[in-house]
A and B are shown apart, each in its own frame.
Chain A
């Protein structure tokens, strides 16, 4: 697996917020993808859209509840089509299966189309150690491979790079003159990768869906690199998570309607490529061998946990990233692992282990926008709360994300807020303290209008208050106002 940096979330997100260039890039995505998505929904009407969502969710619920059955059916039909299905319980096993194929088939050059699961497995370094050339061919993936970075978005992996960044990168790594024209840069990548597509012995793809009834792998792309990777080399390996299986080909309709619209706001992508086994004797081209590797790599932990099982319904459209007020300010890298954004904050802790990623479930305002945009109605906020609960209530204090004193304060706050008597006393005390503070502003000054306490460095609470302005307590609370003037008993 690639290096896990989820434990550095606080520092990484703080740094990311202060990066204006990243902010501009994130705004572009929010505007581009999100607005186009809304246009597509309006076009088909909300009712129709909701109907597709319900249909897709129903398919996912059924398949995941009976995953063993569909995996068995898939295995049978991949084999019947002349392909080979491999099961890998973790990243090492999956990588070893690929390595075995590379060694025994004398593979020298590998082209890859975008696969988040291969990022999750850390496959490229394993292949490079075997001495093979590995070429990422999706333009965004190619850029981050040259830059030796990781994707920062599920759909637009290099969104954090400006055109100037890419031009400088091409100059440095490819030895070509600096040229920040986006069309020229895309043409450069086309020329370099075109040769590689034709020379490659092995093409590796991910899978958006795999159809159990027919043993079919489905990839959804715009660039055409997916088609070239799965058509030109003599061996094709598809790698994906075991949750990507769906029962029948007819179940694809709902997903093909939802995924492109949710991801990029397209009605459909330029290419939807479905592969069933290797080429047959009458085919004019296509690979001689077809392998499909299904990985668990922590997914069965999600499956076993009823509160988190629905994270396996995710179709990786990225809509929850584009809408998230947290993601859109810190970007993908701050999340510290392959899967960013709201869904990443659920999936990463389950795949890398909660102790290392205990900060991620906190990276949400629980505003619910992710749940609203999810094309399969995944209740992400509920799962984030569940993970928070798991960290807060863990007997292991190193797993808890908050210091002990915060827990005590939270309990006191709960007491205070559930007793009218205590609350009344608390408000009175607060007003007194506020008066004192106004006379001797030791903690921090008020804003000029006197309505806000700015950057209050209240000792124990400073982790929370240093980045938030607090409203001052009003002269009258609603309760007091009610008793004095509004209560019906008054009249």
Chain B
């Protein structure tokens, strides 16, 4: 493989810095934290969210709407299903793809969508379904429905992490994305999220998972004359349904 060997490259950096000592003289406070310290911080953070849940859910709804989500709040699973039924009917699509996440046990919507005459594909690999066939199914779908690993009140973002049954492409390829958010998915700030992810990283023996995606509103561009166009490569229409 071409390129400069690591040792040589680092040596040139050290020379530029006029620095011989490795590692830094002053330890970086964050990197020195132990998992139990992180756990304590996470417990405090969780408590804070629990104590302020209604206000934080309101904030999430407000920030999500500012970020371009069409926000719908529901108090019961039936309301969620009804709302999605309306969206699906109005969209005129024939195919819907959904992830295979826990949230769909709580909100079973396949039967309703099938009754509308739609084909519902669930992301589930088995003998007959390969990664290639899944990708094609996603491409043919007019709506992609996913849960949220987290929802961030600060930014109005949905956070998705890799897991079995959740393809990266569901939330970016179909022209409509619906994200289902439950009260327990709520975090307040970016700091909350990254603290939690760091703790999980260390708890899982240094495994971060292959991706972490923030989604905040529709795909958009302003590259021609600063005019905002939605749905340039990703979805044009994104719905956040908050249950709770």
Contact = CB atoms under 8 A, between A and B. Distances in A.
A231 B168 contact: yes
Q: Which of A71, A216, A283, A300 has the most CB of B within 10 A?
A: A283
A276 B209 contact: yes
Given A227-B213, A270-B217, A282-B164, A249 B190 contact: no
A222 B235 CA distance: 11
A285 B168 contact: yes
Given A190-B233, A224-B219, A279 B210 contact: yes
A27 to B, nearest CB: 10
Nearest to B219: A224
> For the complex, would chain B's binding face be called helix, strand, loop or mixed by DSSP majority?
loop
Contact of B233 (A137, A269, A274): A137
B194 A253 contact: yes
A27 B198 CA distance: 43
B84 to A, nearest CB: 22
A274 B213 contact: yes
Interface stretch (B47-55, B61-69, B71-79, B106-114): B61-69
A72 B123 CA distance: 38
A280 B221 contact: no
Contacts of B222: 32, 156, 222, 264
A458 B219 CA distance: 57
Contact of B167 (A162, A285, A293): A285
A283 B123 CA distance: 11
Contacts of A65: 17, 19, 24
Interface string B100-131: 00000000000000000000000101000001
Contacts of B24: 62, 65-66, 69
B223 A157 contact: yes
Contact of B17 (A67, A158, A249, A270): A67
A255 to B, nearest CB: 10
Given A28-B226, A225-B233, A300-B12, A77 B206 contact: yes
Interface residues of B, number: 82
Q: Which of A62, A69, A88, A96 has the most CB of B within 10 A?
A: A69
A97 B6 CA distance: 14
A185 B123 CA distance: 33
A232 interface: yes
Contact of A286 (B67, B168, B197, B235): B168
A228 B195 CA distance: 27
Interface residues of A, number: 98
A248 B31 contact: yes
Contacts of B135: 198, 232, 285
A280 B162 contact: yes
A271 B214 contact: yes
A29 B9 contact: no
A267 B4 contact: no
Nearest to A186: B229
A275 to B, nearest CB: 5
Given A248-B198, A271-B216, A224 B233 contact: yes
Interface stretch (A79-87, A339-347, A411-419, A475-483): A79-87
Contact of B1 (A97, A232, A286): A97
A242 interface: yes
Given A274-B212, A276-B210, A300-B13, A223 B220 contact: yes
Interface in A43-68: 62, 65-68
Given A190-B233, A231-B168, A270 B216 contact: yes
Contact of A303 (B13, B191, B194): B13
B213 to A, nearest CB: 5
22 contacts: A28-B225, A29-B226, A66-B19, A66-B24, A67-B17, A71-B10, A93-B3, A186-B224, A213-B201, A215-B208, A227-B213, A249-B194, A267-B66, A267-B155, A270-B234, A276-B208, A285-B135, A285-B168, A286-B211, A293-B3, A300-B12, A304-B16
Closest 9 CB pairs of A and B: A224-B234, A140-B223, A272-B214, A87-B9, A224-B219, A304-B16, A284-B167, A303-B16, A66-B24
Given A69-B24, A283-B162, A284-B166, 5 more contacts: A68-B13, A71-B9, A75-B6, A163-B225, A272-B157
Interface of A: 25, 28-29, 32, 62, 65-69, 71-72, 75, 77, 80-81, 85-89, 93-94, 96-97, 100, 137-140, 143, 156-159, 161-163, 166, 182-183, 185-186, 189-190, 193-194, 197-198, 213-216, 222-225, 227-228, 230-232, 242, 247-253, 256-257, 264, 267-280, 282-286, 293, 296, 300-301, 303-304
